[in-house]
Amino acid sequence: MKKMMMSFCIATFMLPACSNEGEKRNSGAIKEKEQPVQRKETAQQGKESQVQEEWTSLPEYEEIMKHIHDQEYLFETVTDNENKRILLLKNKNGEKQYKTVFIKQDNRLKVIKINGGGQVFNGRIS
């Protein structure tokens, strides 16, 4: 009887640990921002210029623009914490084209072409 009761208690505590509730709660912790680098609508130009300033104020922005051939991309923040910032750059169709990883402590930037291009840049920026 004790073994059965002990098994029941262990199962009661272990099964909730296997659920996806933690993932559901943590999914809100990932910041996702998706804003076009260049915009065409003039009515929202004031708001958009503030958003563009947000991207252009990033220390790695100029180096990223050197390596992506100056096309129009949507920036999406995957992760931005005290150690690193990971951005995805998508084309107008929403297809992922580039991934950037910026290590804040070392000022190291990696630019990776997703669709078969491989690593485009890996170095320190000033």
Structure tokens at 23: 């993932």
Where exactly are the structural domains of the chain? Answer: 31-124
Most confident of 13-17, 19-23, 32-36, 68-72: 68-72
Average pLDDT over residues 104-120: 92
pLDDT tens digit sequence for 24-41: 555 554 554 555 555 444
Strand 84-90 versus strand 34-36 pairing type: unpaired
Rounded Cα gap, residues 75 and 80, in angstroms? 13
pLDDT tens digit sequence for 89-104: 998 899 999 999 999 9
- To 5 degrees, how large is the angle CA 77–CA 120–CA 106? 60
Q: Are 86 and 100 in contact (CB under 8 A)?
A: yes
